Amino acid sequence: VDVGKGVLLEEVLADHAGHLQRQLVSRGQGVLTNQLDNLIQVAHNCVVGESTVMAAQAGIAGSTKVGKHCMVGGQVGLAGHIQVGDRVEIAAQSGLHRDTPDNARLFGTPAMNFTDYVAQAKELRRLPRLFDRVGKIEKTLENNGEKN
């Protein structure tokens, strides 16, 4: 693992680098440096861009590239062979399995646009009432002899 100057590593950075492969954690520029919390897994051939922050128990699978100025929440999983753009925010416990453009805000598993996630979560809360309504409609149709 190559760790550049100005990188703060807290407690543990696990390394599974294969032969003739290397990982690169870029050095931070300016005020903010890379900050990698405890129990971070960075697999073979990964690159983490400058001024990127990763919280505890995040994991990056092999050959993944994380851009500059990103924020990766705790327990986030990044699949292998993907590219994460610059200034991307990934909320805790999210799972990312595809390339992501610059400036994305992601949440959930699979990770999706934060605004879409919030809208879907609101709709999910309505499902029990919708099931009740559909059940009542089916019962009415059945009582009227219209159900197949």
112: which DSSP letter?
E
Contact yes or no for 146/138 (Cβ under 8 A): no
Nearest to 70 by CA among 62, 82, 144: 82
Q: Active site residue: 16, 44, 81, 97, which one?
A: 44
CA dist., res. 132 & res. 98, Å (int): 37
Question: In the structure encoding, which two tokens stand for residue 75, read together?
Answer: 């327990």
CA dist., res. 67 & res. 113, Å (int): 17
Catalytic site includes residue 16:
no
Other C-beta atoms closer than 10 Å to the C-beta of 69 total 19
Other C-beta atoms closer than 10 Å to the C-beta of 105 total 16
Three-class secondary structure of residue 14 per DSSP? strand
- Catalytic residue numbers? 44
